[in-house]
Amino acid sequence: MDSTSGISHQSTPQTSVAGLRIGMALIVGCGYVIDQLTKRLAQTHLDVGSPVPVIDGLLWWSLHHNPGAAFSMGVGLTIGLSVLSLVVAVAMLGWVLPRVQTRLAAVACSLLTAGVLGNLTDRLFRAPGPFEGHVVDFIAVRGFAVFNVADICITTSAGLLVIWSILSDRKKRVS
């Protein structure tokens, strides 16, 4: 095993493995549930085209139905994005998460999984239909995209994976 990779087939003491698994399950579960609940609240209390100011001039609740990916890229690729999300979700749940061995990698991979599952749920079960569903976005920041909790999970995961990679690289150079 590469001791800095954070992913291995070798086992560690059961208590730490069990603790990591419980922590990952909690992060995935909480991230997913919070994403779905906030989207339901947005759908119930917001109207498309009628933003509600939260922090005047900076932050709004603004309901959007996004058929694409981040920043509404890939609008015509909804089915492809759905299939890609499904593949990533299966890979994370079936291969990556069971092999994670460091806390930082566990948090990052769990957040990624929660975010992918949250947006995948929209793509599978929202209008206009399976694999073509539009993702509910509702957090609008001035000069930036409209996004949701799943997007926050995915973006935070990306940042943590960069930090994990830098730390892993430093450990490699030291040893």
Q: Reply yes or no on whether 35 is catalytic.
A: no
Count of H-run helices and E-run strands, the chain: 5, 4
- Contacts of residue 92, defined as CB under 8 A and 6 or more positions apart, other chains included, come to 109, 112, 113, 116
Catalytic residue among 56, 122, 151, 169: 151
**CB-count burial class (<10 Å; 0-12, 13-18, 19+) for 147:** buried
Nearest to 106 by CA among 4, 10, 174, 6: 6
Q: Reply yes or no on whether 137 is catalytic.
A: yes
Q: Which two tokens stand for residue 105?
A: 């990698």
Catalytic residue among 35, 47, 56, 137: 137
d(CA 82, CA 39): 18
- Which residues are annotated as catalytic? 137, 151
